[in-house]
Chains A and B, each alone.
Chain A
Amino acid sequence: MIESTVDRKTRKFRELNFYDQQEENQYFLLPFRFHRLNDAKEVLVNEVGDHLVASAGTVQLLVSKQLSKIEYPELYGDLIANFFISEEQIPPLIDLYATRYRTKKSFLDGFTSLHIFVISLRCEHTCHYCQVSRVTQDKGTFDMSLEHIDKGIDLMMRSPSQFLTMEFQGGEALLAFDNIVYAVTRAKELAPAFGKEINYVICTNLALINEEMLGFCKENSILISSSLDGPSYVHNQNRHRPEKNSYEMTVKGIELSREILGKDRVSALMTTSNLSLEYPVEIVEEYYNQGFRSIFLRPISPYGFAVKNERKNKYETEKFLSFYKKAFARILEYNFSGEFFSEDYATIILRKILTPFPVGYVDLNSPTGAITNVIVFNYDGSVYASDESRMLAEMKDYTFKLGHLDTHSYEEIFYGEQAQKIVQVGTNESLPGCSDCAFQSYCGADPIHNYATQGDMIGYRPTSSFCHKNMEIIRYLIELMDSDKNIEQIFQSWVKQRT
C-alpha cells in the first residue's frame, strides 16, 4: 500500500522565477557556427542546421558569457530552445538533439540509390557546351552492350537501399531505345527477388520521341527528364541541330510526353551558357509559359565540351549569381501574385534550413554524394564515381574511374581504396574553410569539382567557384527570409513534403 506523502505546500502556485534552473547566471555554449549576413545582422547555425538571425554583436556577447536572461528574455529562450546554449554542461535534451542529427544524416542509410546508365554516347545535336563529348550518329560501337547492362543491373541490386533510381543518359538516350527496353525489362524482373522498388528516368532532348516509346514509358512509369534552356533564341543557340529546330522539337516532345504520361511525369532541366546569362527573366517566363511550375537554375560545369569551348563558356561566378538573383526575383513575383513556382536549387537548400528531414542531393551533400548516393556505368563498361567523373575521363583523366564491370567486384568498386579516398575528403566538416563555415549544414563537398577546377580533391576555398556560389546563394536566401515574412512563407510552401 502506497503511503500518502501529502504535503500541502506542494500544491501552492509558484512564480515564473521558481522554475529558473540557471545557476549563478552561468550558461554553457553548445556547438554552433556563425556568419555576418550584412552590416546589421549575423546568423548563428547549430549542429543540425537550425538557424537564428540576430543583430551584429550577439555572438560576441554570447561567447563572452555576458548574455543575461533578464536583459534578453526572448533571445535567451530562443538560444536554449534551439540548442545554442545550455544551463548544464550536458544539455538535458542531448539525446533528442542526437536523434535530430542522426535524422539529418540518414540520407546515408540507403547508400547508393541513383544508378546512371550511359546507354549510348551517340547524339544528333552539337551543343557547344556539351559535357558529354558526343559522337555522331553512325558509330554503333558507342552503345552500352547487353552484357554490360546485365552486369550493371546486378551491381545495382547489391545496393542496401530498398528504393533505387535507374537513370538512362547519353549522348541521346533514345537513340538506343531498344537497349533501354531491355534494361528496364530485366530490372523489373529481378527487383522483387531483391526487395527493390525502382524508379526509371530517361534524360533526353526529346527530338526522337514517339508514341510507341511513350507507350512503353507509361507502362513502366518511366519519368522523362528533358532539356529546355529557355525561349527559342536561347535554346537553339545553345543546342545546335543541323535543322536549327531544337527548341521546336523539344516543345513538341514535351507536349506529346505530357499527353501520354501526364504532366507530373515530364520535367525539364536547363543549362546556363554565356548567352543564357543575358536572359534570366525570359528563361523563367518560358518555363512558366510551357506549364512548368519549377525550374532548376544551375551553372555550367567545367567538363567535357564546355572546357573546350572556353570562349563561349568561361564566365565568373559573379555573373551567374547576378543572373540567378534576377531570375529568382521574377520567380518570387509569380509567388507574390498567388502562383506556386519554385526554384529547385534553392528548394534543396531551404529544405535543409527549414525542415528536420534528411536531404540527399548529390551535389550538395556531406559526405559527398559521389558513390554514397550515385554511381555511373559508362557505355563501355567502366564505372565512375559520378557524372562529372565520367566527363573527366572523356578528357582522358581517369582519376575517378573506380573500375570496370568486367573486372571489378561490387566491393572493389564501392568500398575500394579509390572510393574511400574520395569520400574521406568529401566531408566538409573537416575541410579547410568549411569546418568553421556557418553554412556547413546547408552545403556539401565536391572533391571531383575541386580536382577538375583546382587540381586537388581538397580544393582551395577562396578561389572555389563551388564555395563562392553556394555561400552567396545561402546567404541571399537567409537574408531574404529575414527581410520579409511573406518570403519566408513562400519558402515554407516550397519545402512542404507531405500531402
Chain B
Amino acid sequence: MVKDGEILVFADFNLYSKDAVFKCLYWFGDKFHTGVSFIDSNTYCISLRPLSIANVNSDDLELYLQKLERDLIDYQLRDTIARETQNIRDLLVAKAFSNGEFDEDPPGDVSDPVGFNPNLASV
C-alpha cells in the first residue's frame, strides 16, 4: 500500500527469503530509504520512503509499489534457481577449469545388437 507518502509491503516470511528481499531492495536505494523489519514472526514489513534529493513524484508511488511487488517475486524466483542450481554451477566451473580429468562416463551403451562394447575393446 501507499500511505503518507511511503510505500509499505507486507510479505510472508515463509514465501520470501531474506536474500530475495535484500537483493530486491538493493535496487531501490538510489531513490528511497529502504527498511525491513518483522511485524510478527511470520511477516516482514518492507518500507520505501522517497529520498528528499531523489525527486520522486507522489503520483508515481503507485507505480513503484507495483514494481516492488513484481520485483520481490522475481528475486524470490532467482533465489530458488540459485539454490537449486548451486551444485551444478560449481561442478560446471570445476570441469571448465579441468583438463578432462573429471569427465563423466557416456550415457547409455553403444546398443550394438551383435555386442560391440567400446569399454572392452582393446584400444
Q: Do chains A and B directly touch (beta carbons under 8 Å) in the complex?
A: yes
Using CB atoms and an 8 Å cutoff, list the residues of chain A in contact with chain B: 2-7, 10-11, 28-34, 36, 47, 59-60, 63, 90-92, 94-95, 97-99, 101-102, 105, 432-433, 436, 460-463
Q: Which of B15-51 contact A (CB under 8 A)?
A: 23, 26-31
Asked if B84 is at the interface of the complex by the 8 Å CB criterion, the answer is: yes
Please give the number of chain B residues whose Cβ is less than 8 angstroms from any Cβ of chain A in the complex. 34
A436 touches B78 (CB 8 A): yes
The one of B77, B85, B95 that contacts A98, using a Cβ cutoff of 8 Å: B95
30 inter-chain pairs at a CB distance below 8 angstroms, sorted by A residue, are A4-B114, A11-B113, A28-B84, A30-B88, A31-B82, A32-B85, A34-B77, A36-B74, A47-B89, A60-B73, A60-B77, A90-B104, A92-B107, A94-B92, A94-B95, A94-B104, A97-B92, A98-B93, A98-B98, A99-B96, A101-B92, A101-B93, A102-B97, A432-B26, A436-B23, A436-B78, A461-B26, A461-B27, A462-B26, A462-B28
State the main secondary structure of chain A at its contact with B.
Answer: mixed
Q: How far is the CB of B17 from chain A (nearest CB, A)?
A: 13
B91 touches A94 (CB 8 A): yes
Asked if B59 is at the interface of the complex by the 8 Å CB criterion, the answer is: no
Q: A5-B113, A6-B113, A59-B77 are in contact. Are A105 and B96 (CB under 8 A)?
A: yes
Q: A31-B88, A63-B81 are in contact. Are A98 and B113 (CB under 8 A)?
A: no
Contacts of B74 in A (CB 8 A): 34, 36, 59
Q: How far is the CB of B79 from chain A (nearest CB, A)?
A: 9
B81 touches A31 (CB 8 A): yes
Flag B40-81 by CB within 8 Å of A: 1 or 0 each.
000000000000000000000000000000000111011011
- A94 to B100 Cα, complex, angstroms: 12
Asked if B103 is at the interface of the complex by the 8 Å CB criterion, the answer is: yes
B77 touches A47 (CB 8 A): no
Contacts of A3 in B (CB 8 A): 115
Contacts of B80 in A (CB 8 A): 63
Q: How far is the CB of A79 from chain B (nearest CB, A)?
A: 13
Contacts of B27 in A (CB 8 A): 433, 461-462
- A99 to B96 Cα, complex, angstroms: 6
Q: How far is the CB of B68 from chain A (nearest CB, A)?
A: 14
Contacts of B88 in A (CB 8 A): 30-31, 90-91, 94
B91 touches A90 (CB 8 A): yes
The one of B23, B103, B113, B116 that contacts A95, using a Cβ cutoff of 8 Å: B103
CB closest residue in chain B, given A47: B92
B92 touches A98 (CB 8 A): yes
CB closest residue in chain A, given B23: A436
CB closest residue in chain A, given B92: A98
Interface centre among A5, A31, A32, A60 (most CB of B within 10 A): A31
- A40 to B115 Cα, complex, angstroms: 54
Contacts of B23 in A (CB 8 A): 436
Contacts of B114 in A (CB 8 A): 2, 4-6
Contacts of A102 in B (CB 8 A): 96-97
Contacts of A10 in B (CB 8 A): 113
B81 touches A29 (CB 8 A): yes
- A32 to B89 Cα, complex, angstroms: 10
Contacts of A11 in B (CB 8 A): 113
The one of B29, B92, B95, B96 that contacts A462, using a Cβ cutoff of 8 Å: B29
Contacts of B103 in A (CB 8 A): 95
- A47 to B73 Cα, complex, angstroms: 22
Contacts of A59 in B (CB 8 A): 74, 77
Q: Which of B94-123 contact A (CB under 8 A)?
A: 95-98, 100, 103-104, 107, 113-116
CB closest residue in chain B, given A97: B92
A31 touches B78 (CB 8 A): no
Q: How far is the CB of A60 from chain B (nearest CB, A)?
A: 6
- A461 to B93 Cα, complex, angstroms: 26
Contacts of B104 in A (CB 8 A): 90, 92, 94-95
A-B contact sample (20 more), CB < 8 A, given A30-B85, A59-B74, A98-B93: A3-B115, A4-B114, A10-B113, A28-B84, A29-B81, A31-B82, A31-B92, A32-B81, A34-B74, A34-B77, A47-B92, A60-B77, A90-B91, A91-B88, A92-B107, A94-B88, A94-B95, A99-B96, A436-B23, A463-B30
Contacts of A4 in B (CB 8 A): 114
Contacts of B78 in A (CB 8 A): 33-34, 436
Q: How far is the CB of B5 from chain A (nearest CB, A)?
A: 21
A462 touches B30 (CB 8 A): yes
